[in-house]
Amino acid sequence: MGNVVELHHAIVDHYLTIARDRDSTQQEFRKSFDHLGQILAVEMTRDFPGDANSVDTPLEATQGFRLHARIALVPILRAGLALVDPFVELLPTSVVMHLGMYRNEETAEPVWYYNKLDEQVPVERAVILDPMLATGGSVMAAVEALRAYGVAQVEVGCVVAAPEGIQAVQEFDADVDLTICKIDDRLDDNCFIRPGLGDAGDRYFGTA
């Protein structure tokens, strides 16, 4: 079974509170999301593989470490783009592979509109970026696409998630690890995360 990690950190709680606040400006929401993305990126790369590597400091030689895996960042459009930059800053050699889906508001099911994985160079490891894991439909569709593309190790990073979505993803693919800033209480009858933070894409990009 894949690991589910919820972050417990004062800085996470601080910036998540700003992101949740309905009165936060777009700038405040965006800045808080950027910080949450930075923390997610640090936590999710904690155990990334690499090689022992000697390095000469100004005083003496010592043992170091360099990452070697080819990593793909896979934001689910559009809201997933809000988490890309913090990961790229930490992993400048990573590739970014976009997957586009929107939610059918009547069925709450994901609807594809962009997938060009078959045109990409193969990778060893993929990190799906989706700020809000509600029903899990979009993440499961992304996992399925990445598995078909041949990615052996798939992980998911979210800002908030509902327990129902986490369970759905685990039942769909037991090998997927999830790292989440905060696991919220539930989904409501409209499949919205409660307490949630509104529409992350609209609030981050300033659209209605």
* pLDDT tens figures, 118-166: 787 778 899 999 999 999 999 999 999 999 888 989 999 999 999 999 9
Query: Which tens digit of pLDDT belongs to each residue from 9-58?
Result: 999 999 999 999 999 999 999 999 999 999 999 999 988 888 898 999 99
- Residue owning tokens 């060009």: 116
Give CA 137 to chain center in angstroms. 14
Evaluate if residue 1 carries a pLDDT over 60.
Answer: no
Cα dihedral sign, 94-132-25-208 = positive
Query: Which tens digit of pLDDT belongs to each residue from 176-196?
Result: 999 999 999 999 998 899 999
Q: Which of 39-48, 64-73, 113-122 has the highest mean pLDDT?
A: 39-48
- Residue owning tokens 């790229």: 88
Do you find a cis peptide bond into 78, omega within 30 degrees of 0?
Answer: yes
**Cα-flanking dihedrals φ and ψ of residue 2, to 5°?**
-65, 155
Structure tokens at 92: 């400048």
- Reported as a pLDDT band with limits 50, 70 and 90, residue 113 is confident
Structure tokens at 2: 């894949």
Calpha distance 206→190 (Å, rounded): 23
Evaluate if residue 105 carries a pLDDT over 80.
Answer: no
**pLDDT in the model for residue 50:** 85
List, in sequence order, the alpha helices (H) in the chain.
Answer: 10-20, 26-44, 84-90, 137-149, 163-172, 200-205
3 beta partners = none
CATH hierarchy code of domain 4-48+67-205: 3.40.50.2020
Cα dihedral sign, 21-161-147-47 = positive
- Reported as a pLDDT band with limits 50, 70 and 90, residue 114 is confident
Calpha distance 176→169 (Å, rounded): 8
Domain boundaries along the sequence of the chain = 4-48+67-205
